[in-house]
Amino acid sequence: MHPILVGESFSPWTKKARWALEQCELNYAYKEYTPTLSEPGLRLRLRQWSGSVSVPVLISGDQIFRGSWAIACYANETTRDARLGDMSTIKHWDDLSEKALAEGRTRVVRSVLNNDKALEEALPTFIPSPLRRPMRFLALDAASRLDRKYAHLVMPGSLRKALEQTREGLAKARGDFLLADFSYADITMAAVLEVIAPIAEAEPPLGPATQSCWNDPSLADEFQDLLEWRKRLACNRDTSYSQFSALK
């Protein structure tokens, strides 16, 4: 039986995990996680009855890997050829990525909190259109709880720092790979760009109001060179993965 990856397809953390698994050519079954609705089932799979749970999570037999870094390390070890690179060297890049994404997530969540249409789009798809506006308070509560859950992780300036160091790293490498070859360093830093100008497909797709909350036009304009770098990775069959299929 293939491992099961539970995640949110729009999440940069899930994107990192999927990209790593596919780069290592590991077959897996994907299960989309819906906050609140999917939580009981995930807790049952994890046998975790208290405390917070988050995705992505990879379940492989009786082994459980929580978070994109643990999943990438598992994928790299499973291939036995270090296809994602030397993870001890890459940890520095992933730390930059994690801090940048934490800041980006909080910006996105707070943008949603201030956008009535985005709140309506955040409601489960089975809620009919006439009821979405009066039930907006449910999405407001969920987004507020998400903001409180992760706000303590935010280190102001982390996003810009990650982008600047990626630019410097690529200039030093004089190519499209931060290290000698394509590695998880490129994956984890390219994923940072998903919080300023997302291009990886999400299923179910985000609504237009929600998509606008993910975009940061100012940073996207300033770091257009990095967006072009990510696009080159996304369009190259050797460095791409399934959520970039529309670009290839």
- Token readout for 10 is 């729009």
Report the share of the chain in percent with pLDDT over 70: 100
Residue 95 has pLDDT above 70, yes or no: yes
Q: Mean pLDDT in the chain? A: 94
Residue 79 has pLDDT above 80, yes or no: yes
Q: What's the predicted TM-score (pTM) here?
A: 0.95
Residue 77 has pLDDT above 70, yes or no: yes
The secondary structure of residue 153, as a DSSP letter, is G
What 3-state DSSP class applies to 86? Answer: coil
Q: What is the pLDDT of residue 118?
A: 97
The secondary structure of residue 30, as a DSSP letter, is E
Taking alpha carbons only, the member of 90, 47, 89, 52 closest to residue 68 is 90
Q: What is the pLDDT of residue 246?
A: 79
Residue 38 has pLDDT above 80, yes or no: no
What is the average pLDDT across 73-91? 95
CA distance 178 to 168: 9
Residue 221 has pLDDT above 70, yes or no: yes
**Residue range 42-65, pLDDT digits in tens:** 788 878 888 778 899 999 988 999
Q: What is the pLDDT of residue 248?
A: 63
Torsion angles phi and psi, residue 20, rounded to 5: -65, -45
| DSSP string for 171-202 | HHHTSS-SSSS--HHHHHHHGGGGGTS--S--
Report the share of the chain in percent with pLDDT over 90: 84
Residue 102 has pLDDT above 80, yes or no: yes
**Residue range 127-169, pLDDT digits in tens:** 999 999 999 999 999 999 999 999 999 999 999 999 999 999 9
| Across 30-34, 93-97, 209-213, 238-242, least confident range | 30-34
What is the average pLDDT across 121-126? 89
Is the alpha carbon torsion for 45, 122, 96, 23 positive or negative? positive
Peptide bond into 204 cis (omega under 30): yes
Q: What is the pLDDT of residue 99?
A: 98
Torsion angles phi and psi, residue 60, rounded to 5: -125, 100
* 63-66, strands of its sheet edge to edge: 29-32, 4-7, 57-60, 63-66
